[in-house]
Amino acid sequence: MENISEILSKIFLFNNISMRDIQHLCTLDGWEIVNYSRDDILLSADIDKKIGIILDGKATIISGDDGVIIKKLEVGDIYGVAILFDEPKYLTKVIARGKCKVLTLNRAFVHKCIDYSGKIALNYIEYLAKKISFLNNKISSYTAKTTENKLYAYLLQLPREDNKIVLKTDFSAIAKMIGIGRASLYRAFDKLESDGLIIKNNKEIILCEV
């Protein structure tokens, strides 16, 4: 059986929360470990919204209307945070790509955690603030005048370490997300590289200027 307190201690909600407090929160109802099979739906408009943490296996976030892959989820990745306390009419789907084990946290459990510690509430707010920044950057990519500006704006909002980005989304999906054709995407990558803004090695991108 997984050590739930150890798992929770590694996700953003419980940053700077003591292990003793986390262990106490694990005694509350509202979390469970769920096993899914390939093509099972983990999250959609028809399913009670929960935060999910991938413990084993892989999943995919797809758009609700055309099934375009938005993001691929692997062990340690989290979904469902931004819409947990919302009632959106449109919702993407999260689908298992094979056997998949997920730790889920329902709304009531997260609410109790927030009531228990102001630090947890602050962690949640900081996460949502980053989400807003992500969306603002995405809007910027759509309104940019050139394809390379759109691509560069998109790259800037991706998670990176020491200015290195590892793309987890295929190029066709990236092209669709920023509103350009696949051929234009490749030309934009070439232009950014020739301008000295990036170094590209397959799906590994280094931002030379940030």
Where in the chain are the domains?
Answer: 4-124, 144-207
Q: 126-141: per-residue pLDDT in tens?
A: 988 887 876 676 666 5
Half-sphere CA count of 112, side-chain side, radius 13 A: 15
Looking at residue 2, its pLDDT comes to 61
Q: How far apart are CA 155 and CA 159, in angstroms?
A: 9
Task: State the residue for tokens 């292990």.
Answer: 19
Q: Strand 78-79's sheet: what is its strand order?
A: 31-36, 100-106, 50-56, 78-79
* CA–CA distance, 10 with 8 (Å, rounded to integer): 5
Asked: is 144-207 a CATH 1.10.287.130 domain? The reply is no
Question: Mean pLDDT, consecutive 10-residue segments, the chain of 210 residues?
Answer: 82 93 94 95 85 94 75 89 78 89 95 95 90 69 74 83 84 86 91 87 79
Ordered alpha helix ranges (H), the chain: 4-9, 19-25, 107-116, 118-143, 147-156, 171-177, 182-194
Domain 4-124 matching CATH 3.20.20.370: the answer reads: no
The residue written with tokens 């232009």 in the block is: 191
Q: How far apart are CA 17 and CA 182, in angstroms?
A: 44
What pLDDT sits at residue 160?
Answer: 79
Residue 207: how many CA atoms within 13 Å on its side-chain side?
19
Residue-wise pLDDT tens digits, 166-210? 898 888 888 888 888 889 999 999 988 888 888 998 889 988 754
